[in-house]
Structure 1
């Protein structure tokens, strides 16, 4: 399974050359650190899916001595691994450019990435190849643009729930959010595995 994760890096070595300039663009545009961490985490895992969608590598992957469960596991574990690497590189870049950020920014960026990944990874096994990557990228841009105003609107409409959440202590709030996001990620992992097990290539 480690070799499948390593394969993703090897196949993307050309795209990885533009990773740092891509992140530096957001830093120089003075984007919010949480958004920069989110975009950085997004880069490698979704590039892998985009590559596989174009090359239709699922036939090749299924001819290798790996079970379908291992193929899906490599995608989900790989996404977490690459997210950690991306956060490390982004933190270093922000530090070099003197941009302030906090652990909260990292938590928000990584949490949003895992949530978005949990919602979109199964689509690559449900929908027909050819349009999935475009749809995911458009969805990501729309979510980044309309997500915060939409959340603010919901907070106003459901003030009782908002007041209850605001009364929670920071540790409880962070722990609860982390557990909920990880649960959604694991459910997505199981859902993708179930779909992939039945898929015919």
Structure 2
């Protein structure tokens, strides 16, 4: 039981504990609210891929493509390239980075590109070209698959990606869109049997 002196101390401690508890509660509420905002800001993108196989080469199928990303920004070029390689790898396909075959230290002629391609271990080439006018909110990519065995385009298509929910964090919008593009294009190429891989669901 508190003495008179201790009662004073007890009385002084009780409100303090209450204030601390209230402050902690308010802080927790703010943290939860902030986390909810951050979660809601996570971007997502929707991609639609339209593609066609050349009927003359309908049976052509490959297992080791080289990824050739046609975009001016080196950082984004490598980013998209890495994502395509990762998506193919998740489906059991070993893809080759285009920058490892064609280092962007200089411009290559068509003849030089063909010579390096033929001399590589790749059996096909995926050319992914960012269409002029694309932005962080909407991107259109042209895709072509070239078979080394026949030297012809066996599949051609277009990828349209739209940002559904943006993220205020710098660089996140493009990263979200690049990931959506690579995943959906790779899925479509496997569905069309251009490449021999396993379709990954909910990846």
> TM-score normalised by the shorter chain: which range applies?
under 0.3
Radius of gyration: which is bigger? 2
